Homo-oligomer: A and B are copies of this chain.
Amino acid sequence: MSHDLEREALARYLEDHHLKHTKQREAILEAFLETTGHVTSEDLYQRIRDKHPNIGFTTVYRTMKLLCEAGLANERHFDGGVTRYEIQHEHHDHLVCTKCGKIIEFECSMIESAQDEIAQRYGFRLLRHRHELYGHCPECRAKG
């Protein structure tokens, strides 16, 4: 329960854009906020299905896009061709274990400033970036 801030943010976004506040959107936001890490739309659809068997996967896909636009979620595309969503929080990048799939978030201001420097060197206006490190986590290394 609670998540009042996020519900308000959604309500505000919907109102500002003359969109409608529906039970489905509310339920999907609620389910999404209960996740941790990086869920796929399919994951989320399965979870929602229990409480709300009549919400279709199309609505989940559409709503996740909406939550991104509203600034509540972030879309991520790691290796594997599936879109994943995470709850929006401060900027960070990812370290992904290619054996067990574990995802660790990190941030590094030195890399950030190096990126700005590179963009400037080529005259680009930097909008966003994607920085993912792939390897084996300590646990998987231990197992051989």
Interface set of A (CB-CB < 8 Å, partner B): 77, 79, 81, 95, 97-98, 104, 106, 108, 110-111, 114-115, 118-119, 121-138, 141
Contact = CB atoms under 8 A, between A and B. Distances in A.
A135 B119 contact: yes
A129 B106 CA distance: 14
Nearest to A129: B133
B130 A134 contact: yes
A124 B138 contact: yes
B114 A137 contact: no
Identical subunits present: 2
A118 B121 CA distance: 25
A127 B98 CA distance: 9
B124 A97 contact: yes
A125 B135 contact: yes
A118 B137 CA distance: 12
23 contacts: A77-B77, A77-B79, A81-B81, A95-B119, A95-B122, A104-B122, A104-B124, A106-B118, A108-B114, A115-B133, A119-B133, A123-B138, A124-B133, A124-B138, A125-B141, A126-B134, A129-B131, A129-B132, A129-B133, A130-B130, A130-B131, A130-B134, A131-B132
Given A95-B122, A119-B133, A124-B133, 18 more contacts: A77-B77, A95-B118, A95-B124, A98-B127, A104-B122, A106-B118, A106-B122, A110-B110, A111-B111, A118-B133, A122-B137, A123-B138, A124-B135, A125-B136, A125-B141, A126-B134, A129-B132, A131-B131
